[in-house]
Amino acid sequence: MAAFVFGREAAHNQIVSTIKELIGHESAQAIQAMIQNASNRPKTGIFSTLLGGIILLFGAGGAVGRLQTALNDFGGEGAIR
């Protein structure tokens, strides 16, 4: 999804540099190879992106709903419902 917003090359470079900082150069190279392999399958990538976006929306909606419930419980009688 980041590739759609920032451009494919910028997103790829950012991911690789972040991984390199976290887990080291060799592991980052292995993950970079996985990313390049996944990018060679455009139909699978589109499906994965759509599925990930849908899951993100449901997850975010659930989190917002739970936050609203917690805030309402915290507010007592005068809470917005």
The pLDDT tens digits along the chain (81 residues) read 554 566 767 777 787 788 788 888 887 788 778 777 776 666 666 777 788 888 888 888 888 988 888 888 887 655 555
CA–CA dist 12, 21 (Å, integer): 14
What is the pLDDT at residue 70? 86
Q: Convert the chain into a string of H (helix), E (strand) and C (coil).
A: CHHHHHCHHHHHHHHHHHHHHHHCHHHHHHHHHHHHHHHCCHHHHHHHHHHHHHHHHHHHHHHHHHHHHHHHHHHHHHCCC
What is the pLDDT at residue 76? 63
What is the pLDDT at residue 42? 66
